[in-house]
Chains A and B, each alone.
Chain A
Amino acid sequence: MTDQPIIAARSNPITDGTWRSMKIFGYITIAILIAVGLAAWLGQWGWLDPAFVKSNGVAPKYLEQFGYGLIRTLTLLIVSVVIGYALAIPIGLVQVTGPRPLAWLASGFCTFIRGTPLLVQLWLFYFGFGSLFPQIPWIRQSFFWEYLRDGFNYALFAFTLSFAGYEAEIMRGGFLGVPKGELEAARAIGMSSFTVLRRIWLPRALMLVLPTLSGEVVSQLKSTPLAATVTVFDVYGIGREVQQDMFLTYEPLLLIAAIYGTLTAIIATAFKFVENLIPTRRG
């Protein structure tokens, strides 16, 4: 009885701190917004005007270009996440239950993807393989030669494999994390192994890894600017172009930072919404 008031009076160091820092985070956000607003006011932003014309008479239409850049960035992100995830499921699965050689191959793939910088992988595909293809005559004559000359496809390929490698490792953990009893129960009911996978194992594994997905997609978004190093004009690529054309240092960088920051916030909010839709029992 005597202990009760003491415990109740003790403040919770975790929730109290979060609340106070959240409140002040609001002020700091306002301060940053004011700072960015000042930068916007003091900086040169005339180039964003759709009617802007350079001194040499060229109308570069940067705002429109940023729109196209955003579409390229989002295409890179969405396509690589969707296809990468589709690849990650079998790659994760064979590491848990597949035949030995396949399991080794899959874990070797994951080790390579996770152990080397994405930039190396991208340049290996674009400059490395890209320099081998033209020397093979039948490739030059085939219809996909057109595709093999476009940096965008190399970026898409590299990003997809990268996402598959990181996600496969997470899926492996997800498959291992499903309690054995649930799989045994499914088999005892008489499900075939494919039905077990389809109805029990895969859905349960996906539920387990769902909380990590948001962070992984944000990481993937943050990797997409690398595409600009292989001639893709994504948001970052356009920003760099403006930097060079207009002799501006900060304005384009602040704009692309704001764009990526907004995209990150949208992804985080969207995943939180989706997570809340799926009923899970915690603890």
Chain B
Amino acid sequence: MSAMSIDLSMLAFSPPGWGGNLLRGLVHTVEIAVGAYALGLTLGLGGAMGKLNGGPVLRGALEAYTTIGRAIPELILMLILFYAGPQFLNNILTSYGYPLVDINGLAAGIFVLGVVQGAYSTEVLRGAIQSIPLGQIEAAKAYGMSPWKRFTRIIFPAMIPNAIPGLANLWLNVTKDTALLAVVGFSELMLETRQAAGTSKAYFMFYVAAALLYLALSQVSILIFSWIEQRQRRGIARVA
């Protein structure tokens, strides 16, 4: 029965407690999530502009990217990218006579999650840009703004309030998707938890602790995003 009682001293920050490991895992989770989110937003912004302004070939390619990226389970896309990405990079490097590189886990995790996120970001940002009244963009054109200035001064600021609810959802998804990286062996919160639980045999306590850490992360994120949304929506009439 001893294993059933919950021994909180195992959550202590210094060894033999595992609390420090869990927190380190949480930091890695946040790092991967931030990196993947940023990469996803970059791809998404490029993808959205490409879908709206690009030629037929670019549009078709982006349509294929967003369709496939959203139709196939994240876990499988991750595995494909996880195997294909490093191999592709190493093929290029060897063909130019460079030595093989060992790809760092953090970068690989950010890459695979970011590419998957990009498919979703493209759609969110495209929708946000399309909901800008066309007259505003035409007015900018009429003033003779260059495409770049039009983007930075009109399209981007006008799009942000529309995009924030969707982007908040994407952030919550990416923090949760980082857990999938444990399946391919990246050291983030889920894998640290698994190791702590496996070593100490206190499975129940450690998984509850991990769940609470994820919950705290998502609740804090929700608070931050609702604060940003309130700030961004200042002066905009509320729609239903």
Chain A residues with a Cβ under 8 A of chain B: 13-14, 17, 20-25, 27-29, 32, 111-112, 114-121, 123-124, 127-132, 135, 218, 221-226, 229, 236, 249-250, 253-254, 256-257, 260-261, 264-265
Contact A25 B63 (CB under 8 A): yes
What 15 new A-B contacts, CB under 8 Å, besides A253-B79, A257-B80? Answer: A20-B59, A21-B60, A24-B56, A24-B63, A28-B61, A112-B211, A117-B190, A119-B179, A128-B203, A131-B204, A218-B71, A224-B73, A226-B180, A250-B83, A261-B72
C-alpha gap A127/B214 in the complex (Å): 18
Instruction: Say which residue of B52, B83, B204 sits within 8 Å of A253 (CB atoms).
Output: B83
CB-defined contacts of A22 to chain B, threshold 8 Å: 63
Q: Interface centre among B76, B176, B208, B214, by most A CB within 10 Å? A: B76
Question: Given contacts A21-B51, A128-B207, A257-B76, is CB(A229)–CB(B183) below 8 Å?
Answer: yes
C-alpha gap A236/B206 in the complex (Å): 27
C-alpha gap A119/B204 in the complex (Å): 14
Instruction: Say which residue of A119, A120, A124, A132 sits within 8 Å of B4 (CB atoms).
Output: A132
Contact A222 B72 (CB under 8 A): yes
C-alpha gap A123/B193 in the complex (Å): 10
Contact B74 A120 (CB under 8 A): no
Instruction: Say which residue of B3, B206, B219 sits within 8 Å of A115 (CB atoms).
Output: B219
Contact A21 B56 (CB under 8 A): yes
Q: Which 6 A-B pairs have the closest CB atoms?
A: A24-B60, A117-B179, A115-B218, A124-B207, A128-B204, A21-B59
Within residues 180 to 205 of chain B, which ones have a CB less than 8 A from any CB in chain A? 180, 182-183, 190, 193-194, 197, 201, 203-204
Question: Given contacts A132-B204, A260-B76, is CB(A17)–CB(B59) below 8 Å?
Answer: yes
C-alpha gap A17/B130 in the complex (Å): 12
- Closest-by-CB residue of B relative to A131 is B203
* B1 lies within 8 A of chain A by Cβ: yes
| A interface majority secondary structure | helix
Contact B71 A236 (CB under 8 A): no
CB-defined contacts of B201 to chain A, threshold 8 Å: 131
Min CB distance, B147 to chain A, in Å? Answer: 15
Q: Interface centre among A117, A224, A236, by most B CB within 10 Å? A: A117
Contact with A along B207-220 (1 / 0, CB 8 A): 11011001100110
Min CB distance, B48 to chain A, in Å? Answer: 12
Instruction: Say which residue of A117, A221, A226, A265 sits within 8 Å of B214 (CB atoms).
Output: A117
Instruction: Say which residue of A24, A29, A218 sits within 8 Å of B57 (CB atoms).
Output: A24
By the criterion of a CB under 8 Å from any partner CB, how many residues of chain B are at the interface? 51
CB-defined contacts of A224 to chain B, threshold 8 Å: 73
Instruction: Say which residue of A20, A112, A117, A121 sits within 8 Å of B56 (CB atoms).
Output: A20
Within residues 127 to 153 of chain B, which ones have a CB less than 8 A from any CB in chain A? 130, 134
Contact B73 A225 (CB under 8 A): yes
* B75 lies within 8 A of chain A by Cβ: yes
* B84 lies within 8 A of chain A by Cβ: yes
Min CB distance, B140 to chain A, in Å? Answer: 15
CB-defined contacts of A24 to chain B, threshold 8 Å: 56-57, 59-60, 63
Instruction: Say which residue of A14, A17, A119 sits within 8 Å of B180 (CB atoms).
Output: A119
Contact B80 A250 (CB under 8 A): yes
C-alpha gap A135/B208 in the complex (Å): 18
- Closest-by-CB residue of B relative to A29 is B64
Contact B214 A236 (CB under 8 A): no
Contact B76 A236 (CB under 8 A): yes
Min CB distance, A32 to chain B, in Å? Answer: 6
CB-defined contacts of B84 to chain A, threshold 8 Å: 250
C-alpha gap A261/B204 in the complex (Å): 35
Q: Interface centre among B57, B68, B72, B206, by most A CB within 10 Å? A: B72
Within residues 154 to 193 of chain B, which ones have a CB less than 8 A from any CB in chain A? 172, 176-180, 182-183, 190, 193
C-alpha gap A117/B176 in the complex (Å): 5
Min CB distance, A10 to chain B, in Å? Answer: 10
C-alpha gap A110/B134 in the complex (Å): 39
Min CB distance, A11 to chain B, in Å? Answer: 12
Instruction: Say which residue of B64, B75, B193, B218 sits within 8 Å of A225 (CB atoms).
Output: B75
C-alpha gap A254/B201 in the complex (Å): 37
Question: Given contacts A124-B208, A127-B203, is CB(A28)–CB(B63) below 8 Å?
Answer: yes
CB-defined contacts of B172 to chain A, threshold 8 Å: 114-115
C-alpha gap A255/B224 in the complex (Å): 41
C-alpha gap A132/B206 in the complex (Å): 13
C-alpha gap A257/B75 in the complex (Å): 10
CB-defined contacts of A256 to chain B, threshold 8 Å: 76
C-alpha gap A229/B218 in the complex (Å): 24
Min CB distance, B198 to chain A, in Å? Answer: 9
C-alpha gap A221/B183 in the complex (Å): 18
CB-defined contacts of B182 to chain A, threshold 8 Å: 119
Listed by A's residue number, 7 A-B pairs whose Cβ atoms lie within 8 Å are A119-B183, A123-B207, A127-B207, A128-B207, A221-B73, A257-B80, A260-B72
